[in-house]
Structure 1
Amino acid sequence: MTGSFTNPVYLENFPDPGVVSADGTWYAYGTNNATANVPLLTSTDLVHWTEAGDALPEVGRWAVRGNTWAPEVVRTAAGKYVLYYTARWARADRQCIGAAVSDTPYGPFTDASDEPLICQDDEGGSIDASPYTHTDGTLYLYWKNDGNHIGAPTHLYGQRLTVDGLALTGERTRLLTNDKPWQVHVIEAPQMVRHDDRLYLFYSANAFDSDAYAVGYATCQTPLGPCADAAENPILKSTPAAAGPGHSYLITLANGSNWLLYHAWPPDAVGSISPGRQLWLDPVDWVDGRPVVHGPTATPQATPGE
């Protein structure tokens, strides 16, 4: 191998990565830490990451600081960047989803709204928003109701977004529910991806702070379903090297190869504050229309693009 790396690719705590690419740089956004609402990392190769501050210095007026989770970013047709983030609703014991805007992927992103974009109060709240741009340019948003917060079922939802990405439009659709034994009480962290003209909804399930947390996927007929859960799930799960791998983000490189960026605990430190959930990166192949994740891999492997 002319260039190689060994997981994890970022040793500090960086849960729930969401990624966007611009001008040869990868931008990764993560769940809050002690100093930043939305910690930002940058990289030119997906392997070496540099800390780049707080992409969201202030949460929206509807929210309170301290529980800013699972941010993801999309670039709209107008060239703006919209960051979808989860935060604690000031009115109640609920996590809800907001949208913030910036001219650049660095930020600072600003949420000018007095109300959250999505807050399913009767279903426990709303978290883990993930945008998707379809082949016709239509924007969609996917998320999870926080049902496990109130002892209720959890579902993955999808709905169209307006062109600017700041409002929902059309019918809201329930795509998946935590009805498989391995998922137990929670299904979350959706990401819709397109490969070879087929749609795949990646997600995570089970308790995030345990070694049972894992990644699965479903195939979908349209961006709003119907979706069919894959029989071989989960496709990424714990090994002796990494515990509770999940909240993944599938990346497609210019050469067409796919890589999965995700977080995982050290096996001897599940649930710990330090080092917490570290960043891992592994290749994904497609076999008969099914994604196959080669990980968690803790031995040297070729860097992306090599």
Structure 2
Amino acid sequence: MGFSNPVYGNNFADPFVVAVDNMYYAFATNGALGNVQTLRSPDLVSWDEVGDALPVLPSWTSPGRVWAPEVAVHAADRYVMYYTSRDDASDRQAVGVAVASGPEGPYVDKSAQPLISQVDEGGSIDASPFQDSTGRRWLYWKNDGNAIGVDTWIYVSELSADGLTLTGPVHRLIKQDLEWEGNLVEAPYMVERNGKFHLFYSGNAFDKATYAVGHALCESPTGPCTKSGAPILYTSPDAAGPGHNMVLHAADHDWFIYHAWNPTQVGTDPHGRTMWLSELTWSGDVPVVQPPLRNNPTQP
């Protein structure tokens, strides 16, 4: 039967989706719907606009640069959101954490300061939670080094059981060292499969057609990690700059959910970065991702 991409055609950068009670909830960087744009769908293809999942920001930040929200489901009545926003004190991006009793929110951040703020490394962005098969929770993120002309690293630290604090040492996993990555790596997302750990990440500039998704195979949640080399998702005739992906298992398929933009309207597309789906399959430990297809033959 198939479906058409983008599955949501308005600006919806850095998308993240959770499945709750036969419904999918999508969250994205600030835009027309609010600080944390929120959608709802029964099938990953037809989306209804919900509004703003984080309508009130904590005292340490201000609206305008609320980026890349991701949600960890702790219980039927507890959802923990990690998001990026500007730390007013340092004028750098930082990571915050907020809690809600339902997937749509409202999420509330009661903190007086960010959860992570690496001011000397350009700031901190793109926090991504992960729970391994033993039940331990981890948080991945990137220092925003490209903002000040220094290296960008993917970091990880263990989280407390409630998801609100970092409890373990901070580990560096990978940085930009391949030609296709340009000046940065960002947007980490970890998947555990058959006892091995797969780190997906984006590289290069988000507003360029050279933006793409890479992969590294890791021995544990804290590394070491070995990159696969060439990107596994990259610009196609149908979409440019695909990136900031996550992986969702639905209806016996694995799906890449990511943003991309219209390659025929560079610099003029009013819809900006829209939400796309591509099927993910595996050849042993090697992930294989469909290129961005406007008419996708597989139905979620």
Compute the TM-score of the two structures, normalised by the length of structure 1.
0.95
Three-state SS of the structure 1 residue aligned to 2:13 is coil
Mapped to 1, the partners of 2:46 and 2:194 lie a distance apart of: 29
- The structural deviation recorded for 1:270 is 3.1
Mapped to 1, the partners of 2:44 and 2:151 lie a distance apart of: 35
Q: Show the counterpart of 2:290.
A: 294
- The structural deviation recorded for 1:273 is 5.9
249 and 21 in structure 1: CA distance in 2 versus 1, 3 angstrom threshold: same
User: Quick check: 57-66 or 139-148, which moved more?
Assistant: 57-66
- The structural deviation recorded for 1:75 is 1.3
* Structure 2 letter corresponding to 1:246: G
* CA contact 2:33–2:51 (8 Å) conserved in 1: no
Mapped to 2, the partners of 1:192 and 1:270 lie a distance apart of: 31
Q: Over residues 229-287 of structure 1, what are the superposed CA-to-partner deviations in whole Å (9 max), with x where a residue is unaligned? A: 113x20000011100000011111253x2011111010022344611011110101101
Mapped to 2, the partners of 1:79 and 1:151 lie a distance apart of: 42
Q: Show the counterpart of 2:2.
A: 4
Mapped to 1, the partners of 2:6 and 2:223 lie a distance apart of: 34
* Structure 2 letter corresponding to 1:276: G
**1:126-205 alignment runs, 5 A limit:** 126-205=124-203
Q: Show the counterpart of 1:220.
A: 218
User: Quick check: 138-147 or 41-50, which moved more?
Assistant: 41-50
Mapped to 1, the partners of 2:224 and 2:117 lie a distance apart of: 23
* Structure 1 letter corresponding to 2:297: Q
- The structural deviation recorded for 1:288 is 2.4
Three-state SS of the structure 2 residue aligned to 1:261 is strand
**1:1-306 alignment runs, 5 A limit:** 3-76=1-74, 79-231=77-229, 233-253=230-250, 255=252, 257-272=253-268, 274-304=270-300
- The structural deviation recorded for 1:213 is 0.2
Query: Is there any run of 5+ residues in structure 2 with no aligned partner, and where?
Result: none
* CA contact 1:210–1:271 (8 Å) conserved in 2: no
- The structural deviation recorded for 1:53 is 0.7
* Structure 1 letter corresponding to 2:23: T
- The structural deviation recorded for 1:7 is 1.1
- The structural deviation recorded for 1:186 is 0.9
Query: Is there any run of 5+ residues in structure 1 with no aligned partner, and where?
Result: none
Q: Over residues 187-235 of structure 1, what are the superposed CA-to-partner deviations in whole Å (9 max), with x where a residue is unaligned? A: 000000112221100000000001000001101111111111113x200
Three-state SS of the structure 1 residue aligned to 2:197 is strand
Three-state SS of the structure 1 residue aligned to 2:221 is coil
Q: Over residues 7-34 of structure 1, what are the superposed CA-to-partner deviations in whole Å (9 max), with x where a residue is unaligned? A: 1111111000111111011111000014
Q: Over residues 137-178 of structure 1, what are the superposed CA-to-partner deviations in whole Å (9 max), with x where a residue is unaligned? A: 111000000000001110000000000000001110000001
* CA contact 1:265–1:271 (8 Å) conserved in 2: no
Three-state SS of the structure 2 residue aligned to 1:168 is coil
Compute the TM-score of the two structures, normalised by the length of structure 2.
0.97
* CA contact 2:262–2:269 (8 Å) conserved in 1: no
- The structural deviation recorded for 1:78 is 8.2
* Structure 1 letter corresponding to 2:18: V
Three-state SS of the structure 2 residue aligned to 1:228 is strand
Q: Over residues 23-81 of structure 1, what are the superposed CA-to-partner deviations in whole Å (9 max), with x where a residue is unaligned? A: 01111100001450000011111111111110000111111111000000001258510
- The structural deviation recorded for 1:300 is 3.9
Mapped to 2, the partners of 1:167 and 1:300 lie a distance apart of: 40
Mapped to 2, the partners of 1:78 and 1:51 lie a distance apart of: 22
* CA contact 1:209–1:270 (8 Å) conserved in 2: no
